[in-house]
Amino acid sequence: MAGVVVAPDDAEYDAARRCFNALVDRRPAVIARCVGASDVVVALDFARAHELEVAVRGGGHNPAGHCVCDGGLVIDLSPMRSVEVDGDARVARADGGATWLDFDSATQALGLVTPGGVVGSTGVAGLTFGGGIGHLTAQHGLTCDKLVGADLVTPDGTLVHAGADDDPDLLWGLRGGGGNFGVATRLEFVLHPLDRVVGGLLAFGGSGVREAFRRFRDVAARSPRHLSCQAGLAVDESLAPVLVVAPCYTGSDPDPDELRTLRSAPGLVEDGVRAQSFLDQQRVFDSPYGENRHYWKGHFVRELPDELIDELLGRIVALGRPPGGVLIESLHGAPKDVDRSAGAVGFRGAAFNVSVMATWQDPAFDEQHIAWARDTAAAIEPWSFGSGGYVNYMQADEPLERVRGAFGDEAFGRLQALKKRYDPKNVLHRNQNIPPS
């Protein structure tokens, strides 16, 4: 290999095997730090010859810890992070291990953007292959909608290209079907011009939280095309509910009606919304890497009625200690414009993604936090859209039926046929797995 190989007695081993989620603590036999497609071919050959389990690592963010395995081989793409931007063609080509900070820094240098994830250290490939929801979803759609091509190394070591002219079926599968079909060494995205945004965070507390939550829902229900909006429900130090709303406005109105409506909700305790660069907007959420234990579970929902808001307000205080939070992502706007047949992703018809995100540090509380997340997710289920959650946020313990439900039977059958074509032995199974048909 041209890249470095890290083994258990190497000094960098512990850092190299660390995931975003500290709940995952696995010890691979070997970590292959690939610097190009030929290294990926060598690593896959080696794994086959030595019958080693394979894990693929991009940004290491997947909460299920899919980027690392016990005793097997990790194909670590973190040295492959370059992003080339063709400003005239409005296209970016990102290496398989690029993160959103790499991507946004390169595209914003030319005043361009694609709708990506909201935390800079998340992997571009991992996020895109599961769908991709972020600060520009209403304006430009899901991240996978902007994926127009990808170079992959399939588990038997073959180099393939997915694209509208080469293999449209594989491109369809990559738009939501996860890392099931090959190791992507390069991804190609279309870009849009974007200079500045009006964004940041609005925090609501006290007795105003319920009304602020309803206001967030009502603003999203009007489906403003220039405003993407997410919200996070958590508790403050006194364990009372707080709601943080993250609008991202890209229209030309200096005083947009939707932002005025949000700001005027009762209980506003902090107003950090202002005109800023898109790179600053991409820093409004931050999350320490490898420090916290996480257990996430949720549902896409058809609607966010008052009863569900009340249920979440009750559940957020039920644990009696900071439980992490509940993330609510609006899917209004551009995701609905794209024909369902364009990609495998099955949730574009939902109104919101509601994900319960238990976050803690002390292993003594594992059981309580996991139980809280499961119970809270179960309380959301009556409003769910389809029977699966968001594959990008799923833990490893989700049953096959939830993964199938994320796509629907027809798309899942098509994904299984694609899997049989590209990975009949299910070598790439450390993901939200689609077993070959």
Ligand X SMILES: Cc1cc2nc3c(=O)[nH]c(=O)nc-3n(C[C@H](O)[C@H](O)[C@H](O)COP(=O)(O)OP(=O)(O)OC[C@H]3O[C@@H](n4cnc5c(N)ncnc54)[C@H](O)[C@@H]3O)c2cc1C
Residue ranges that bind ligand X, judged by CB under 6 A: 20, 56-63, 66-67, 77, 96, 117-119, 122-123, 125-127, 129-134, 178-179, 183-184, 287, 392-393, 430-431
Cβ proximity to ligand X: between 22 and 203 the closer is: 22
Cβ proximity to ligand X: between 131 and 343 the closer is: 131
Task: Kindly state the smallest distance separating residue 327's Cβ from ligand X, in Å.
Answer: 9
Task: Kindly state the smallest distance separating residue 318's Cβ from ligand X, in Å.
Answer: 24
Contact 377, 356 (CB under 8 A): yes
Task: Kindly state the smallest distance separating residue 19's Cβ from ligand X, in Å.
Answer: 7
Task: Kindly state the smallest distance separating residue 28's Cβ from ligand X, in Å.
Answer: 13
Cβ proximity to ligand X: between 33 and 210 the closer is: 33
Task: Kindly state the smallest distance separating residue 386's Cβ from ligand X, in Å.
Answer: 17
Cβ proximity to ligand X: between 153 and 209 the closer is: 153
Cβ proximity to ligand X: between 28 and 205 the closer is: 28
Cβ proximity to ligand X: between 67 and 308 the closer is: 67
Task: Kindly state the smallest distance separating residue 143's Cβ from ligand X, in Å.
Answer: 7
Task: Kindly state the smallest distance separating residue 57's Cβ from ligand X, in Å.
Answer: 4
Cβ proximity to ligand X: between 96 and 325 the closer is: 96
Q: Alpha-carbon distance 73 to 386, whole Å?
A: 35
Contact 128, 187 (CB under 8 A): yes
